Structure 1
Amino acid sequence: MRSIYLLMPVLLPVFLLQSCKDEQKKDEATATPPVAQVKTPTFEADSAYNAVATQVAFGPRTPGSEAQKKCAAWMEQQLKQVCDTVYIQNVKVTGGDKKELPCINLIGSINPKAQRRILFLTHWDSRPWADQDTKDKDKAVLAADDGGSGVGVLIEVARQVKKMGLSPDLGIDILLTDVEDYGKDVWGEDSYCLGTQYWCRNPHVAGYKAEFGILLDMVGARGAQFLLEGVSRQYADGVQQMVWQAAGHAGFSSYFPYTEGPAIVDDHDPVNKITGIKTIDIINLSQNPQSPFPAHWHTHNDNMQIIDKNTLKAVGQTLLQVIYESAGNKAM
């Protein structure tokens, strides 16, 4: 997760000048939707938790490290077990400090021939600096939550979809992006999300399109709250509302309150701007614009002690709800 965030000032007057019609829309969105009668597999939080622990055991997955190579090989193996086709982008990207960095993006596709597609993505690398800590600021973080949790959830989601099966007219793509957290404010916003920026300009399939995308970032911590993130509201409000309703259908509305949060520079930003795929961010946030991220963010406390199976379950089951509701719905 980035060390910078945007309050999107151009949006503030819009929110402050909402009409009664807009208030009615908000009331309708926050009202408890009818329970969707769709059959979904059961997300196994123990499996996701173990996947997070495996990544953390490799050590910090920073560009050029042995941990990066070992974790990428492990993720490739995992994706091959649960996806029909696996693509690997092993490339070089340029950091904000002008260094050439090895970048390994992995993409697992389920039902690769289906025209209707849903994109799920998360970054898997570790931040090379604990810049928000009080000690050892120049050492890399383990990134159990900010990196590992999203991978753990998506691998388990894919495993459950493979077990239950999916309508052949709907496909799923799982994008695990590298070199997301090798960025600094002084280098500019584009120094973040380097692996995702590369994929956006060089997708695994030429002309790739999806109906919508869902980014996971910091989705495993105890007590997490996934607020309505601002960039998601701007580019993909309908997708955001659909996902939050699915969380309610799955029984996890307490994790997904209809509360507006700040706008964050994250991997969904280039996906929206470069590919045009309407993509939202499920991210643990507070309403404090001066300090929107959890206390373990970019510190050495981002380890397995803060990972909660209940949070992993809430996110993973919500994604399965989205998938199987979409399988029975028309394209958005």
Structure 2
Amino acid sequence: MRKGSLYAWWDKYRLQSIVFVTGAAILVIEITATRILSPFYGNTIYTVSSVISVILAALSVGYWKGGIRADAKPTFQEFYNVIFKGGISLFVLYVLSLTILPIASGLFSIRTGPLIWSMVLFFMPGYLLGMLSPFAIKLGHEFRPHMGLGTMSGNIFFWSTAGSILGSLLAGFVLIPSIGISAILYGTTTLIVLLGGCGLVSTTTGARRRDAIFFLLLLLIAITATFIIARNADLDPRIRYMKDGVYEKLTVLDSIYAGRPARFFLQDRSGSGAIFLDGKDLTFDYTKYYALYRFTNPELARALVIGGGIYTIPKAIHGERANAQIDVVEIEPELESIAKEYFDLTETTSIRTHTMDGRRFLRESKDRYDLIFSDVYFSLYSIPTHFTTREFFQNAKEHLAPKGIFMANIIGSGATSDESLLFSELRTMKDVFPYVYVFAAESPASTQVQNFIVVGMADQLMPGIEERIRTSTDPFLASLNSHIFPIAGRSLEQYDILTDDFAPVDHLVTRFIADQNDQHAEESIPQRGRFTQFEGANAMTDIRTIVALGSREIGSEGNNALGNLLLKRMQDLHIDAARDSWVHVTDDNRPIPLSNIIARYNPEAKKRIILGTHYDSISRAYRDKKDPNAYMPGANNSASGVALLLEAARTLSLDHASSTLGIDFVFFDGEEGATALGGGDPNWTPLGSTHFAAMYPALYLAGKPDHAVLFDMVCDEDLGIAKEAYSYNAAKEEQSRFWDIGGALAPLVFDHSVKHKIGDDHLPLIAAGIPSFLVIDFDYEPWFNTTNDTPSHCSANSLTLVGETLMHYLASYQ
């Protein structure tokens, strides 16, 4: 095409081409919008409807204002000016999605958050780009009056809609699976900025043209720099793989779990699987329940796993039944290759992968299975509704062999309420399967979110299940009686049966979050927007590890070994950690070598909070009535605070969201005093925290820490935590915030009354001018400082309650 012909073509089809491109851009952003919000609010109906509603509202207002602007100033310069502003609004969207959204998403619930953030992020681009169609109609009619207004309107709307169709298809079928969200935003923003900027340059002269060129180049540099910074921000040394999949962002990273090196698989921000790197045992307990097939059909020949993840369950079945045929249905195309490269899935003809939806597979398959395991919920906020309904369970039942069992991993809570996702699913399953058993992965008594394994059978294949479990030679199966969630005799009639026609899953999830233990919990608890929860089970494992070191009194081998363990654990999490060692000289000139362990998370942050505990233990069980000189294990009084902070550090280290808050983990030595007797010494003084209080200005050159939170004795089975008096006077506001959050999670645990004046590590910090409060369950009778302060009197649920309170508390400062 000759130059003159090109100019003629552009002059004739310029408006149609521009509205085609901008129409495509609008739909690319609309499709991408749900992927921007879903890591923080889940793939819920609230997210989808919020995005669609805001985009439609923005376009509606844009059409209205665009027509008014076109009548007032019908020039191509003004037309390009609107496009250029649309490009700037896309750049603002890009920056906010990278910086503010990860930090501030926790301010709003999964019901209101998507709507609020859709307004903040997507309204202005939709509004400005929506102005273009009526503007183009006006310009087209002005410059081609021979073409009727109706014809021009139809022409413009045809090409704008055609662009939208192409943009929608490109985003879903090509761009998101191929280049990812960040690259899409970068490319779309750059395209619209270039389109508007070049148009402005072409329609201006003199100084205004030079200004337009300068601003265009400056904006392009800023957009490109933002893209490069965003890409480099993902270069965490622990990350082995990261890519936007068809449905979620897929991440593989190495970290620590239960004190062991582990590799995690994440879908968006939700943990979806993990393996230990130093062994073949299964990482998460819920994955071990597949072994229940041994009670019904130990000669299993065919199994179906819906939701492959990292193929944990298919691998485990194959390891036991090498000749069994295992079909895996997984809708995310990348997962099989990820499992092979990073999670030890070996090539075998016994495991066949079907990349399709599980419901569709069941409809099309004619095979019957000895075991069907459904594992498609990877977080509470991403529950595929069509796997919760009666029709799904019925279809699964129809594919069971004569001795087959169906198992589903369900996320929920055993808390009783007028509406419950778990109980609705149980009623739905009982409507299909005559025999249903339920196991709680953590504890049947817990009201917190946990995994439930629901087993459905067409015939009674597990009579006397309790006795068979008790006599099992498999250690895991033998432990399951304590995990049976009782449903016999429980009335489920008040709960809805979920069907393809009516399954209000998102509503039930939202109600659960809002109503957990307290009708106003959702307002009281800052939503964290993190992909991992505090795991009390991990902290319990750490308590056992610490107690196994023996006495940790000052100067002992166990004390030194624990100090080394703390350093290694923090360094393994890529958290800067170091010893602060010194020698304390007693009044009788006896030297005592001591070391505080200080680990700094987000060390560049100016605002800092201290999380502290002591890691030494008392030298003997002086309150034990039988043997006051015996070794005191110190599971609660010593190990619990350490375990809590170790698990908090792991939880924080898995959070890739940007943060403005710095956290200093301080493990104090010598809290039990120079005689290592704590309260048993009338001249008690905490040594490590006193030393820290004297030297902290050298550590905080930019200003003292905002405040400190100290933890001690937080794992009691019968947990009850009242406000401590010295803390109340020194840090009333911070203490009340912590108790408000804890009270929303567990109102019977967090007592708002002020009860005790307790000597602990917070006192030297308060004396040094650092507002500090102590979190402690001081009522630990009859085990306190006796030989019975053992892990058997500690509870993973108690640790989870305190740990989740801490994580929400920290999120409230982001």
**TM-score per shorter chain, which class?**
0.7 to 0.9
Aligned match for 1:209, one of 676, 680, 704: 704
1:85 partnered with 2:576: yes
Deviation of 1:224 after TM superposition, in Å, equals: 1.6
- RMSD over equivalenced CA pairs, Å: 2.2
Larger Rg: 2
* Higher normalized contact order (CA 8 Å, seq sep 6+, divided by chain length): 1
1:200 partnered with 2:693: yes
Letter in 2 for 1:279: S
Deviation of 1:295 after TM superposition, in Å, equals: 2.1
Q: Deviation per CA, 1:171-226: give whole Å up to 9, x if none.
A: 1110001111125668655x331111111112371446221211001011110211
For residues 803 and 650 of structure 2, what CA distance do their matches in structure 1 show?
A: 11
For residues 166 and 211 of structure 1, what CA distance do their matches in structure 2 show?
A: 21
Letter in 2 for 1:322: Y
Gaps (5+ residues) in structure 2?
1-517
For residues 584 and 670 of structure 2, what CA distance do their matches in structure 1 show?
A: 8
Q: Deviation per CA, 1:214-261: give whole Å up to 9, x if none.
A: 100101111021101111111111111000112134x22322121221
The change in CA–CA distance for 1:155 and 1:116 in structure 2 (over 3 A counts) is: same
Which sits farther off after the overlay, 100-109 or 308-317? 100-109
Aligned match for 1:105, one of 596, 612, 615: 596
**For the Cα contact (< 8 Å) 2:689–2:764, is it kept in 1?**
yes
The change in CA–CA distance for 1:81 and 1:212 in structure 2 (over 3 A counts) is: same
Indicate the residue corresponding to 1:279 in structure 2: 772
Aligned match for 1:141, one of 619, 622, 632: 632
**For the Cα contact (< 8 Å) 2:559–2:615, is it kept in 1?**
no
For residues 713 and 679 of structure 2, what CA distance do their matches in structure 1 show?
A: 20
1:267 partnered with 2:761: yes
Q: Deviation per CA, 1:40-86: give whole Å up to 9, x if none.
A: 43011111111111110100101221111211111111111225311
Residue aligned with 2:812, SS:
helix
Deviation of 1:94 after TM superposition, in Å, equals: 3.3
1:233 partnered with 2:728: yes
Letter in 1 for 2:811: Y
Deviation of 1:154 after TM superposition, in Å, equals: 0.5
Letter in 2 for 1:217: D
The change in CA–CA distance for 1:252 and 1:92 in structure 2 (over 3 A counts) is: same
Indicate the residue corresponding to 1:9 in structure 2: none
1:39 partnered with 2:519: no
Indicate the residue corresponding to 1:255 in structure 2: 749
Residue aligned with 1:72, SS:
helix
**For the Cα contact (< 8 Å) 2:743–2:749, is it kept in 1?**
no
For residues 741 and 731 of structure 2, what CA distance do their matches in structure 1 show?
A: 15
Deviation of 1:266 after TM superposition, in Å, equals: 0.9
Letter in 1 for 2:743: G
The change in CA–CA distance for 1:226 and 1:96 in structure 2 (over 3 A counts) is: farther
Letter in 1 for 2:785: H
For residues 186 and 44 of structure 1, what CA distance do their matches in structure 2 show?
A: 33
Indicate the residue corresponding to 2:664 in structure 1: 173
Letter in 1 for 2:732: D
For residues 233 and 154 of structure 1, what CA distance do their matches in structure 2 show?
A: 22
Indicate the residue corresponding to 2:406 in structure 1: none
For residues 612 and 705 of structure 2, what CA distance do their matches in structure 1 show?
A: 12
Which sits farther off after the overlay, 226-235 or 33-42? 33-42
Indicate the residue corresponding to 1:62 in structure 2: 553
The change in CA–CA distance for 1:97 and 1:234 in structure 2 (over 3 A counts) is: farther
For residues 614 and 679 of structure 2, what CA distance do their matches in structure 1 show?
A: 19
The change in CA–CA distance for 1:324 and 1:67 in structure 2 (over 3 A counts) is: same
Indicate the residue corresponding to 1:8 in structure 2: none
1:220 partnered with 2:707: no
Deviation of 1:165 after TM superposition, in Å, equals: 3.0
The change in CA–CA distance for 1:84 and 1:245 in structure 2 (over 3 A counts) is: same
Indicate the residue corresponding to 1:15 in structure 2: none
**For the Cα contact (< 8 Å) 1:126–1:140, is it kept in 2?**
no
Indicate the residue corresponding to 1:132 in structure 2: 623
Residue aligned with 1:102, SS:
strand
Aligned match for 2:564, one of 69, 73, 80: 73
Deviation of 1:96 after TM superposition, in Å, equals: 6.4
Deviation of 1:311 after TM superposition, in Å, equals: 0.7
Letter in 2 for 1:235: A
**For the Cα contact (< 8 Å) 2:621–2:632, is it kept in 1?**
yes
Q: TM-score when scaled to structure 2? A: 0.34
Residue aligned with 2:731, SS:
helix
Residue aligned with 2:569, SS:
helix
**For the Cα contact (< 8 Å) 2:539–2:647, is it kept in 1?**
yes
**For the Cα contact (< 8 Å) 1:96–1:187, is it kept in 2?**
no
For residues 187 and 304 of structure 1, what CA distance do their matches in structure 2 show?
A: 25
For residues 294 and 281 of structure 1, what CA distance do their matches in structure 2 show?
A: 19
Indicate the residue corresponding to 2:801 in structure 1: 314
Deviation of 1:89 after TM superposition, in Å, equals: 1.2
Instruction: Please list, as runs of the form range in 1=range in 2, the aligned pairs for 1:11-50 lying within 5 A after superposition.
Output: 34-35=523-524, 36-40=526-530, 41-50=532-541
Letter in 1 for 2:705: A
Letter in 2 for 1:296: W
For residues 125 and 134 of structure 1, what CA distance do their matches in structure 2 show?
A: 23
Letter in 1 for 2:685: Y
Q: TM-score when scaled to structure 1? A: 0.81
For residues 681 and 751 of structure 2, what CA distance do their matches in structure 1 show?
A: 34
Residue aligned with 2:721, SS:
coil
Gaps (5+ residues) in structure 1?
1-29, 287-292, 328-332
The change in CA–CA distance for 1:120 and 1:166 in structure 2 (over 3 A counts) is: farther
The change in CA–CA distance for 1:134 and 1:98 in structure 2 (over 3 A counts) is: farther
The change in CA–CA distance for 1:321 and 1:304 in structure 2 (over 3 A counts) is: same
1:161 partnered with 2:659: no
Letter in 2 for 1:305: S
For residues 803 and 587 of structure 2, what CA distance do their matches in structure 1 show?
A: 33
Aligned residues: 289
For residues 273 and 183 of structure 1, what CA distance do their matches in structure 2 show?
A: 23
For residues 184 and 151 of structure 1, what CA distance do their matches in structure 2 show?
A: 17
Deviation of 1:140 after TM superposition, in Å, equals: 3.5
For residues 96 and 324 of structure 1, what CA distance do their matches in structure 2 show?
A: 44
The change in CA–CA distance for 1:200 and 1:231 in structure 2 (over 3 A counts) is: same
Aligned match for 2:605, one of 114, 133, 145: 114
Residue aligned with 1:147, SS:
helix
Q: Deviation per CA, 1:10-42: give whole Å up to 9, x if none.
A: xxxxxxxxxxxxxxxxxxxx9967233442430
Letter in 2 for 1:201: A
Q: Deviation per CA, 1:306-329: give whole Å up to 9, x if none.
A: 1110111011111100111111xx
**For the Cα contact (< 8 Å) 1:97–1:187, is it kept in 2?**
no
The change in CA–CA distance for 1:125 and 1:195 in structure 2 (over 3 A counts) is: same
Deviation of 1:298 after TM superposition, in Å, equals: 1.3
